[in-house]
Amino acid sequence: MKIITILLLCCFCFSVFSQHNSVNDKLVIAHRGASGYLPEHSMAAKAMAYAMGADYIEQDVVMSKDDQLLILHDHYLDRVTNVAEVYPNKKRSDGRYYAIDFTLAEIQSLLMTEGFVVKNGKQEAIYPNRFPLWKSKFTVHTLADEIELIQGLNKSTGKQVGIYPEIKSPAFHLQQGKDISLAVLNELKRFGYDNLDDKIFVQSFDPTELKRIKQHLMPKLNMELKLVQLIAMTSWQETLVYHNGTSTPYNYDWMLETNAMEKIATYANGIGPWKPMLINTKMNQQKPKSNGLLEAAHQAGLVVHPYTFRADINRIPKYAQDFDELLHIYYYDIGVDGIFTDFPDKAVQFLQKNKDKRH
């Protein structure tokens, strides 16, 4: 916890009260924490995002062998930990190390770092200009650990920062015998999140699971939370459908039709599209315009929170001169309600500068 203390002291010096985005109704969602600066989903990245003034902090949630809820983007451990070195014999036949095959104690014995890939036997950081690989000491934590951090900071600062948990690969977990959605909802209820006014959005890429949450699980648990349908490209194979022992990719194409928004509004309160899904991409490098999906979503009563806004070199689309222009296009020209960003400080500062603007 020492690194969190240091970070908090540093960040409080420049931002905690003056930079908070409370003057603007557009949201800043810290994607995996302040992941542009510290390893994604580390406690330090969450504390830094909090101090930078994010409105919501995101948690991706997967399950361990002993049914613990872990904060990890993938249901694999090998992209962000030293699992391959510590447990070389625990990989599956596809060469991956699955979080669900490890206990919490085993996972917490691992070191966590920035995301990397292995090329020619050598580890390469996915974002070379971010926090260096394997420096300092980070470990995987649980959903409860993170909620306690955010609720604790809400108490000590008097702010009300929200949480934005994503239930990762629910069909995979169910196929492995684990009802991750039920476990997440029970945990959220235990921490006091149980009604629509609470500062929480629950997100998933899996529409079948979101409908089950809306229609069965939340009524059974006497709770009602805001749900967000994440939208993927079908080619990413983000959601698998299991049938008779085989899996096929879920087809998302229908969600990109404007008439899909009314269907989504029957079970969700918002959409989380990949940001190019909202714009007219045929215009090449010209400033893009809305393709109508956002207006259809708003018409259906859905909020729109696209992902992911990154300020790294080569991550700003050519149609924007810089990160601020990219933010302007989405927040004000297109008119989104919030964004997922790895750089919450930049989005908070942008909204502060533009607080009198309306869309």
The answer to whether 106 contacts ligand G3P (rule: CB under 6 A) is no
* Member of 35, 203, 229, 239 binding ligand G3P (CB under 6 A): 203
* Member of 40, 55, 60, 345 binding Ca ion (CB under 5 A): 60
Of residues 149-188, which lie at the interface with Ca ion (CB under 5 A)?
166
Q: Which residues pair with 164 in a beta bridge?
A: 58
Contact 205, 240 (CB under 8 A): no
Q: Which two tokens stand for residue 214?
A: 């809306």
Residue type, 253: D
Per partner kind, with CB cut-offs from 5 to 8 A, the member of Ca ion, ligand G3P, none near residue 76 is none
Per partner kind, with CB cut-offs from 5 to 8 A, the member of Ca ion, ligand G3P, none near residue 346 is none
* Member of 340, 347, 348, 350 binding ligand G3P (CB under 6 A): 340
Integer Cα distance of 1 and 89 in angstroms: 31
What is the Cα 71 distance to its own chain's centre?
10
Indicate the burial class of 290 (C-beta count within 10 angstroms; 0-12, 13-18, 19 or more).
Answer: middle
Q: Which of 20, 41, 73, 75 is catalytic?
A: 73
Helix (H) / strand (E) containing 179: none
* Member of 26, 31, 212, 226 binding ligand G3P (CB under 6 A): 31
- Residue 31 bears catalytic tag: yes
Integer Cα distance of 183 and 63 in angstroms: 9
Per partner kind, with CB cut-offs from 5 to 8 A, the member of Ca ion, ligand G3P, none near residue 82 is none
Contact 20, 51 (CB under 8 A): no
* Member of 33, 272, 288, 338 binding ligand G3P (CB under 6 A): 272
Give whichever of 166 and 194 is closer to Ca ion, judged by the CB atom: 166
Residue type, 181: S
Integer Cα distance of 209 and 219 in angstroms: 14
Render the burial of 179-199: b for 16+ CB within 10 Å, e for the rest.
bbbbbbbebbeebebbeeebe
Per partner kind, with CB cut-offs from 5 to 8 A, the member of ligand G3P, Ca ion, none near residue 340 is ligand G3P
Residue 40 has φ and ψ, to the nearest 5°, of: -50, 140
Least Cβ distance, residue 72 to Ca ion (angstroms): 11
Give whichever of 60 and 198 is closer to Ca ion, judged by the CB atom: 60
Q: Which two tokens stand for residue 58?
A: 């995101």
Per partner kind, with CB cut-offs from 5 to 8 A, the member of ligand G3P, Ca ion, none near residue 272 is ligand G3P
The residue of the chain with the least Cβ separation from Ca ion equals 166
Of residues 157-176, which lie at the interface with ligand G3P (CB under 6 A)?
166
Integer Cα distance of 217 and 220 in angstroms: 5
The answer to whether 307 contacts ligand G3P (rule: CB under 6 A) is yes
String of contacts with ligand G3P for each residue 228-267, x by CB under 6 A = --x-------------------------------------
Least Cβ distance, residue 208 to ligand G3P (angstroms): 17
Give whichever of 8 and 278 is closer to ligand G3P, judged by the CB atom: 278
Per partner kind, with CB cut-offs from 5 to 8 A, the member of ligand G3P, Ca ion, none near residue 78 is none
List of E strands, 265-349: 270-273, 303-304, 338-341
Closest CA to 138 of 2, 231, 260: 2
Q: Which of 31, 75, 141, 305 is catalytic?
A: 31
DSSP 73-92: SSSBSTTTBSHHHH-GGG--
Q: Which residues are catalytic?
A: 31, 73
Which residues of the shown chain bind Ca ion in the complex (CB under 5 A)? Answer: 60, 166
Which residues of the shown chain bind ligand G3P in the complex (CB under 6 A)? Answer: 31, 60, 73, 166, 203, 230, 272, 307-308, 340
